[in-house]
Chains A and B, each alone.
Chain A
């Protein structure tokens, strides 16, 4: 019979008309995502052993990190970890290669940013990592993610701070000569900073801000250390 197919088509559209709509009204309703959905690539600072396998696995050079090695220590210490998400092709190679499951994909897929610089995700070493070594054992840490919703001035300042920290870590003598006068004082302060990262952070911050205040505080640190040493020697 002619027209049978036409009637069938009409029947199909009529049937669909009264079926439930499949639209998901996105900003109000979130879509259902499968378990293995690859959203934003994220990083768990506490778990990282700074082995560098991820950077080698990545085909697009998305991942990069900086480490320090304390004198006498066996392990490298991770300073920061950067995921430049604009080049990421979500291939999953880094996640597969990571021995400690540090990298993982979240379900967050709203990755659009207003500025190109904001796409880069930088994880800084959270201060608790050095304060509470027993918590490090349990791995029960809360990672402070540097959220990219900061202003441009702030971003610039943070960048400078980052540079200052590295400078202080790598070449303390040269930087400290600006605030401390004697060779002896500089050596003491450098030692102090190498042993205590908090002090390094504080110095870096002060060096950027008030130079005079930095001088005073550095002197105070050195004096305190000298006093401590004298007491030790006295006993």
Chain B
């Protein structure tokens, strides 16, 4: 069971080569296949996630959540998706047409690109990049541009305000996010995600770096624009922030991308702090899925518990609390590593 997917990949490659294809092209085809699988799994997973989110929210408020369609309302999101797919693609007349149209596409592309380096099991990263963690952060930073494009292209004051807010928020929180990850990088001595997972063979980093984990978690919540940091989409003030003018499939793409980001960041948190795909009994790819879902449940728990905080409080939390804490964490981690080395550990 452990090597199911690897075996499929090997078999596919050798079959393609046996057909007389150059090994390079076989690799390229395999890569395309992997991407298709990732996109497919993400899309299907989002259906489950939205259902789960609504269900969790319902239970937390002692409601039932969706329960009309299928067992426990499971087909509700499928019906919603079909509705979104068949809706008219409305593009308001005063928008910056080109930017308006391509913004959701860029957003989803950037979100899917994050998955390239995530190890989804033993030897199961699409690209085992040397600087994987850095890749994740820098590609993740591109989504600000997409939000800005959506907000500007819509030519709507709520969209622009939402975009401005989200960009200011995401830029501010990128700093504590990156700094909190530095502790992990210092201990494992690598930016390669697979190496970081290997380094947690004996001890998960959540135990070595609890402060970094909490900082990372808060910053990630803000990066994902999720509650309680969902100012950019604050429904009560900004209708839907940068997505106000979007409808139908373009809006669905934004929604898809947001949940895709959620899964990616949760998987990253599981990889960096919860030992990644390592775990007893079950195959590695199942372990990472379980851990990712655990983290996502915590994200949902936070979202449906806390009220939205104010914009200036949000900023001061980042600049005055999280960044100093993560800086102190880096210094302490460095000192700790030196002390352990000196003790000959």
> Which residues of A are at the interface with B, using a C-beta cutoff of 8 A?
6, 9-10, 12-14, 16-23, 25
Chain B minimum-CB-distance residue to A14: B301
Take A9-B305, A9-B306 as given contacts and tell me if A16 and B61 are in contact as well, using a CB distance cutoff of 8 Å.
yes
Q: Chain B's interface: helix, strand, loop or mixed, by majority? A: loop
Q: How far is the CA of A23 from the CA of B56 in the complex (A)?
A: 15
Q: How far is the CA of A16 from the CA of B301 in the complex (A)?
A: 12
Chain A residue contacts of B61, Cβ below 8 A: 16
Minimum CB–CB distance for A6 against chain B, Å:
7
Indicate whether B62 reaches chain A with its CB closer than 8 angstroms: yes
Take A6-B306, A9-B306, A13-B301 as given contacts and tell me if A23 and B59 are in contact as well, using a CB distance cutoff of 8 Å.
no
Are A21 and B60 neighbours in the complex by a CB distance under 8 Å? no
What are 26 contact pairs spanning A and B, CB under 8 A?
A: A9-B305, A9-B306, A10-B305, A12-B305, A13-B60, A13-B304, A13-B305, A14-B301, A16-B59, A16-B60, A16-B61, A17-B56, A17-B59, A17-B60, A18-B59, A19-B62, A20-B62, A21-B62, A21-B63, A21-B64, A22-B62, A22-B63, A23-B62, A23-B63, A25-B64, A25-B67
CB contacts between A and B, total, < 8 Å: 34
Minimum CB–CB distance for A161 against chain B, Å:
45
Take A13-B301, A14-B301, A17-B59 as given contacts and tell me if A23 and B306 are in contact as well, using a CB distance cutoff of 8 Å.
no
Minimum CB–CB distance for A148 against chain B, Å:
30
Chain A residue contacts of B58, Cβ below 8 A: 21
Are A23 and B64 neighbours in the complex by a CB distance under 8 Å? yes
Total count of chain B residues near the partner, CB < 8 A? 14
Q: How far is the CA of A117 from the CA of B62 in the complex (A)?
A: 40
Minimum CB–CB distance for A24 against chain B, Å:
10
Chain B residue contacts of A18, Cβ below 8 A: 59
Q: How far is the CA of A151 from the CA of B345 in the complex (A)?
A: 92
Minimum CB–CB distance for B226 against chain A, Å:
15
Other contacts beyond A13-B301, A13-B304, A18-B59: 18, CB < 8 A: A6-B306, A9-B306, A10-B301, A10-B305, A12-B305, A13-B60, A16-B59, A16-B61, A16-B62, A17-B56, A17-B59, A17-B60, A20-B62, A21-B58, A21-B63, A21-B64, A22-B62, A25-B64
